[in-house]
Amino acid sequence: MSKVRVASFAVSIDGFAAGPNQNLENPLGVNGFDLMGWFVHTKIWRDMQGLPDGETGTDNAVAARAFDNVGAWILGRNMFGPVRGPWPDNTWKGWWGDEPPYHVPTFVLTHHARANEPMKGGTEFRFVTDGIESALEQAKAAAGGKDVRIGGGASTVRQYLQKRLIDELHLAISPVLLGDGENLFAGLDLRKLGYDCAEHIAGERATHVILRKRA
């Protein structure tokens, strides 16, 4: 059965999923890249970068599982890039170069219309202006029975959690403190929203916690 899920979503011990002041030099905000220390050592990440070697332990296995059975993605506009307001042109095509890591239809939440953007490797960015539920409906149709993965950022994940639209949430809790930035849990009572901790796995560089929505 297909699911709506968040996977390999890194948060700090103090609950931040990004640092402050996101910009071209700091895509995850100031100090935000510290959250990814668990991921950048894995074989799957290094393979994605065309690099040799990489660790093949628990963190790698959990990260690899995050890509299984994904038929479509949803991204917030901040996740797609730092451009604000109306799109000045179509020059910005994401942080990832000509071949993004998604390889399936990828729906970008925005208030400003833009034509679809086909990329190498099967990714096609599709820009959705009529809200998170419309994006999810379109993503489910495009996924063809596979899972829809909510990629982030934190605000996007919070919005879907608030409406109980996420079935499974995998948090990679990194052993770092950010102190400031975008707090994933701000304004959420996950217990009241019907989420329980279903699994917790100790990795080499992060603790993996899987929350699932009660039926």
pTM (2 d.p.): 0.95
What does the pLDDT look like over 197-211, one tens digit per residue? 999 999 999 999 999
Q: Look at residue 91 and tell me if it is in a domain.
A: no
Q: Look at residue 88 and tell me if it is in a domain.
A: no
What does the pLDDT look like over 34-61, one tens digit per residue? 999 999 999 999 999 999 999 999 999 9
Which contiguous run of DSSP H or E holds residue 142? helix 132-143
Q: Look at residue 186 and tell me if it is in a domain.
A: yes
Q: What percent of the chain has pLDDT over 70?
A: 100
Contact status, residue 17 vs residue 6, Cβ threshold 8 Å: no
- CATH number, domain containing residue 78: 3.40.430.10
Q: Look at residue 149 and tell me if it is in a domain.
A: yes
| pLDDT value at residue 22 | 87
Residue 73: partners with Cβ closer than 8 Å, 6 or more residues away: 102, 104, 105, 106, 107, 139, 148, 149, 150, 151
What does the alpha-carbon distance between residue 4 and residue 146 come to, in Å, rounded to a whole number? 9
Q: Look at residue 94 and tell me if it is in a domain.
A: no
Q: Look at residue 39 and tell me if it is in a domain.
A: yes
| pLDDT value at residue 99 | 94
Two structure tokens written together for 158: 């919070």
Per the structure, how many domains does the chain have? 1
DSSP 8-state class, residue 38? G
What does the pLDDT look like over 58-98, one tens digit per residue? 999 999 999 999 999 999 999 999 888 999 999 999 999 99
pLDDT average, residue stretch 121-131: 98
Q: Look at residue 165 and tell me if it is in a domain.
A: yes
Q: What range does the domain containing 174 cover?
A: 4-19+26-83+99-213
